[in-house]
Amino acid sequence: MENELEKALENKFISSAKFSEEIEKIVSSQKINYIDAIVFYCEENTIDLESIPKLISKPLKEKIKYEAMELNFLKKTSRAKLIF
């Protein structure tokens, strides 16, 4: 009974780890960037983009930040580049 409840909750609510894993899968399989992968995931699962920030893990946030700097969406910092 507990396993059924846990599975139901897991399917209904997404964790930060599961969200990051799904985004990584999309990026690697569809060869798109992280920002587009998040938008794609939200559209496919009818999730409001405004609810996503609390699901983004620190490593995923760093990858998005690096990507945004490369696309000139953010000013580049003097820190070392993140290597994938």
Residues in the chain with pLDDT < 70? 1-12, 77-84
pLDDT (0 to 100) of residue 51: 86
- DSSP letters spanning the chain: -HHHHHHHHHHHS--HHHHHHHHHHHHHHH---HHHHHHHHHHHTT--GGG-GGG--HHHHHHHHHHHHHTTSSPPPSSPPPP-
| pLDDT value at residue 27 | 95
Q: How much is the pLDDT for 6? A: 59
